Amino acid sequence: MLELAQDIGLLFERWQVPLPQKRAILFYIARSGNTSRPAEFIEAVAQSLSTDREVIMTIAQQLEKIGFEKGIKQGMKASARNIARQLLLSGMEPAQVCQITQLSAAELAQLVDSPND
């Protein structure tokens, strides 16, 4: 998808696409398109624009921030699961493990059922 970024930017320029439509199209591509790095894609589109470049770059920054925050949350959840697994293996009561790790009883049960997660 990244290889199409410059062409999309050129089409935006040629057709004089209004800013709200540019934003909508780029958000759609970022969410639904076949790209693993949506922020990088949007930055590449912005590089070929003569107008609205700053606004488009802001979209890319927003997507990077969302991805970063999502990664942090996933990492914290994985750490909580690892800690819970170790606490359970050391013999701590499941209710205490839930309280300490803030995992639900259902999440704890999944750890017990599939210890290799």
Chunked into runs of 10 residues, the chain (117 residues) has average pLDDT values of 87 90 87 82 88 85 85 88 91 92 91 69
Contact 39, 67 (CB under 8 A): yes
Which structure tokens are listed for 108?
A: 């704890």
Q: What is the 3-state secondary structure (H, E, C) of 22-43?
A: HHHHHHHHHHHCCCCCHHHHHH
Domain count, the chain: 1
Q: Which residues form the domain of 77?
A: 2-113
The pLDDT value recorded for residue 53 is: 86
Residue 34: predicted pLDDT: 77
Determine the pLDDT at residue 54: 86
pLDDT at 21: 92
Concatenating the DSSP letter of every residue in 69-111 gives HHHHHHHHHHHHHHHHHHHHHTT--HHHHHHHH---HHHHHHH
Asked whether the whole model's pTM tops 0.75, one would answer no
CA distance 92 to 38: 43
Q: How far apart are CA 110 and CA 37, in angstroms?
A: 31
User: Other C-beta atoms within 10 Å of 41: how many?
Assistant: 23
45's enclosing H/E stretch is helix 38-47
